[in-house]
Amino acid sequence: MRDALRQLRGTLVFAALTLNTAFWFVPLFLLALVKLILPIPALRRAITRVLMWIGENWVAVNGVILAGSGSGGWRADGLDGLTRRGWYLVLSNHQTWVDIVVLQAVFNRRIPFLKFFIKQELVWFPLLGIAFWAMDMPFMKRYSPSYLAKYPEKKGKDLEATRKACEKFRRTPTSIINFIEGTRFSEEKRIRRDSPYRYLMPPRAGGIAIALSSMGELFDSVLDVTLYYPKGAPSFWGMCCGDDVPVEVTVRRVPIEAAMLAGDYDGDREFRREVHRWISELWRRKDRQLTDRRATVVADSASATPVE
């Protein structure tokens, strides 16, 4: 009976989240069509502001629904001084799809609505493609090494296209988020990839290089985010079912080094080495932080265990 009630709760919460998404997607999609059909810059900027408001309300209602399900205990440090009128590059470790829900909730209405770099091909995805475009998600065009070997004249065109896509952000405060590990962490993946970190996957520098080369001079700072789940990485379904999901979010503002703002990541070996050094230092610090926090939790748990 207890399991049946848990599954029922999960079904009802998931249904509520789905209805909330559908409720906000309808006006979003209609406004996206207007934005597409009427290429008037002032009108498009006004519509974009309304679309960001829609996105923020969608996130806020999702948070209320999940809080009502019983999932809570989220704690965030380092949010002081952030502003919705700033430009931020958000870097975070990645353990579960719940990360996205947590980050949206933590940063909602504190910084501009979070945006992801989207593959260029997804612009043609039914419904979602135009929604991504309307929300000003930056589309990223990347050519493979084999393609560039066959068509060397295309070298640098992908970065040029990405820079052009980011031009609109010069007028609108923006937050770009990137999970630079490229995948969710697991012990199996860590061993298979021979990661030098204990609780992190090796970071991939290509996406960061594109973001910094495209709009690095706009960013006020990098927000280095560390996500830690004291009870282990949760599942989204478990959260819907009301499982206790404590989360610790630590935000650290990191100034962007001038050397990171200009360079050819693909063609300049020295610049590529500098980008890797900068990211590796961020990741070593993050790994030490996670290691220390886990050790503290284990010690506290051991001291709280009664001795018979």
Q: How many domains does the chain have?
A: 1
Is position 11 within any domain?
Answer: no
pLDDT of the residue at 281: 93
Question: Please, which residues bridge with residue 226 across strands?
Answer: 250
Long-range CB pairs of 164-170, under 8 A, 24+ apart, other chains included: 165/138, 165/139, 165/140, 165/214, 166/138, 166/214, 166/215, 168/136, 169/87, 169/136, 169/138, 169/215, 169/218, 170/215, 170/218
pLDDT of the residue at 275: 85
Quick one: tokens of 255? 């100034």
Is position 29 within any domain?
Answer: no
Is position 66 within any domain?
Answer: no
pLDDT of the residue at 130: 81
pLDDT of the residue at 226: 96
- Angle subtended by helix axes 269-304 and 206-215, to nearest 10: 120
Burial category of 161 from C-beta neighbours within 10 Å (exposed 0-12, middle 13-18, buried 19 and up): middle
Positions in the chain whose pLDDT score sits under 70: 72-73, 141-145, 147-148, 154, 156-159, 161-162, 165, 266, 300-308
Is position 7 within any domain?
Answer: no
Quick one: tokens of 190? 């860590």
**Cβ pair 285, 250 in contact under 8 A:** no
Domain span at residue 299 reads 73-304
**Cβ pair 136, 172 in contact under 8 A:** yes
Quick one: tokens of 94? 């990645």
pLDDT of the residue at 50: 94
pLDDT of the residue at 217: 78
pLDDT of the residue at 271: 82
Instruction: Name the nearest CA neighbour of 79 among 54, 45, 107.
Output: 107
Rounded to two decimals, the pTM is 0.86
pLDDT of the residue at 72: 64
Is position 68 within any domain?
Answer: no
Is position 1 within any domain?
Answer: no
Is position 143 within any domain?
Answer: yes
Is position 106 within any domain?
Answer: yes
pLDDT of the residue at 92: 95
Phi, psi of 76 (to 5 degrees): -125, 135
Query: Alpha-carbon distance 215 to 209, whole Å?
Result: 10
Non-local (6+) Cβ contacts of 126 within 8 A are: none
